[in-house]
Structure 1
């Protein structure tokens, strides 16, 4: 049987989602916890991979297990083993061919900026000080993203992907007091894409890059033309969407 896991984590102390031989990852922690509880080697496949220091308020992964499991009991036992900064929210039965990565139809991220300093948010925001940002222009530039599909200019160099095309359906900044959050949704994202977009949009906000230049950067398909990547600590994966038909309701 195939099961989907819904989980969340604070990524500060991990080297991203994906298993690495010489560094601790979220995937490794999930592997170990489920293998311990179910007393069998469990391999989990994630909906995507977040980089070191990036957080997730919602991420899905799937695993296969021959037996019927007691879902509530398994969640309780797994969470008692996992580190405090990783939590499993739910386990869902799915169709045998459902895939956490390839069946996802949408992903949403938030990039969180604090306009000022706060010692309690050092690991979960990019704290920007002494910069005057034109948020209206940043939003004007952000709207351009939904009119393009090729985002090679915002992709990490030397990434092994078949296509740089992504369909962005939402891209906007929302300011509330000193909290400035970039909301972005697409069918898929390239590695480092959101952080590169944020860094480039901040260049628009400071006047370093014009709106016209921002569009030229997209057209260039060259990462060297875009701005610097924003730090990892402000980035959150907030939602992964799937067709309801892949899940088994009982």
Structure 2
């Protein structure tokens, strides 16, 4: 029987996990899914995700691929896999893809949203950043627009990282306010580790008046993480969209 490659569409609440990637002596989203798949399919299964979210970060849309020798029926598969997974991880879909399709390298666009709440909200405690001080969203959007004209984001990257370059092509970056919630939307071809949280932390300093738009621009040009502000908490960050060319699907 031929080995087939499948894509999983996944969502998870990252509060109880040490990020996406499997680690020794730590509970990860990847590890939980691999364990459930291995039980269901009665063979060891390794998955590859579209990207690695950090400890405490969530996803409303994440993808991963795995190889399996056999035909899988989506309806029956989804019912069984979701019964084996913890309550804070869900698989939404299963699709067969071409052998060369890759969850990480075939992805062309990724989007994140960061959630800030301006009042205490019991139901969002683990899913947003409660910000006590007033923020000027117009100033934050003026600074956010500068991201679109920049390509090197070393200033917002973790210092110890294994990437070959710090280039990213940001396609959109803006804040919107809906009642007591501030949402930061950002879309790019790729993201560096810790990048979105570092951007949000620096933009909130702009919104508070601690940093000017000119200073934000100089931080971008500095290529120095020490110049940027502290990172925003992980709990407000969601990976929300990953886009692939349609021709990879069967």
* TM-score with structure 2 setting the length: 0.98
Structure 2 distance, partners of 1:86, 1:176, is 27
SS at match of 1:196: helix
Match of 1:17 in 2: 20
- Alignment length, in residue pairs? 247
Structure 1 distance, partners of 2:63, 2:247, is 16
Match of 1:91 in 2: 94
Residue from 186, 189, 201 that aligns with 1:187: 189
SS at match of 1:6: strand
Note the 1:60-209 alignment, pairs <5 A: 60-129=63-132, 131-209=133-211
Q: CA deviation at 1:70?
A: 1.8
Note the 1:211-250 alignment, pairs <5 A: 211-248=213-250
Structure 2 distance, partners of 1:138, 1:46, is 32
| Pair 1:27-2:30 in alignment | yes
Structure 2 distance, partners of 1:5, 1:176, is 31
Structure 2 distance, partners of 1:71, 1:114, is 37
For structure 2, the 5+ residue unaligned runs are: none
Q: CA deviation at 1:234?
A: 0.2
The structure 1 segments of at least 4 consecutive aligned residues displaced by more than 4 Å after TM superposition are: none
SS at match of 1:7: strand
Q: CA deviation at 1:184?
A: 0.3
Q: CA deviation at 1:134?
A: 1.1
Structure 2 distance, partners of 1:173, 1:207, is 16
SS at match of 2:15: coil
Structure 1 distance, partners of 2:206, 2:239, is 24
| Pair 1:39-2:42 in alignment | yes
Structure 1 distance, partners of 2:140, 2:240, is 21
For structure 1, the 5+ residue unaligned runs are: none
Output one character per residue of 1:162-205: Cα deviation in whole Å (capped at 9) or x when no partner: 11000000000000111000000000000000000000000100
